[in-house]
Chain A
Amino acid sequence: EVQVLESGGGLVQPGGSQRLSCAAAGFTFSSHAMSWVRQAPGKGLEWVSSISGNGGRTYYADSVKGRFTISRDNSKNTLYLQMNSLRADDTAVYYCAKDSYGGNPSKFDSWGQGTLVTVSS
C-alpha cells in the first residue's frame, strides 16, 4: 500500500525558516516524481514545487521561487521542502503528493494527510 507521511509543520515567525519532510513507502520511490501542494485556510489547492524521480529536475511556483528548495533522498525514500524567508501568506496545509510518472508533474495519485505551517509573530 502506498503511503506518504508529512512532518515538520508548526508555528514560525515571519522571515523564518522551516523544513518539511515526507516519508514514502509502498512504491519504488526513485521512479516517481514528487510534489508539494498547499492549501491556505479556507482556500483552494496551490501547486508549490515538484522534483523528478532521480532528483535532476526541479520546478517551482513563482510565489515560492528563490525562497523554497525541494529535494529528495532516494536512499531514505524521503522528500523535503526547505522553506526560507517565510511570509504570512505561506500559511497553509502542505501536502506531499506522489506523481504517477517520473518526470514533469502530471497526475498526483497519492497524497499525504498534510502538515500545517503557520507563519505568524
Chain B
Amino acid sequence: DAGVIQSPRHEVTEMGQEVTLRCKPISGHDYLFWYRQTMMRGLELLIYFNNNVPIDDSGMPEDRFSAKMPNASFSTLKIQPSEPRDSAVYFCASRDRGYGYTFGSGTRLTVV
C-alpha cells in the first residue's frame, strides 16, 4: 500500500498564477479530505468528499479555491489566482468506512 500520494511536494509560483495540487487516495477509501496547515491557523479542513461527491466545502477560503474528484482515485485542489497568503502546506487525507484517516506527505506551496 503506497499510502496517500500527493504531488507536487513543493510548488513555488508567482502571485496571480493558477496552482493545481493533486492527490491519489488509498484504494478503497471512500472519503477524501483536503487540509491546509499554517503557523497562524494550524490544520484547517478545507473540503471533503464522500464517494467522489463534495459533502462540505465550508472551509474553502473563497471562490479562488476549487476542488474536484472526478473519480475514486484522484482529486485536485486548484487556486486561481494564487496570492501570497495562500502559502501553506496542503494535505490530502483519505478514510475508509471506519475512522482510519491517513494523510499524505503534503504539498508545500509558496506564492511570491
Whether chains A and B associate is no
A residues neighboring B (CB under 8 Å): none
B residues neighboring A (CB under 8 Å): none
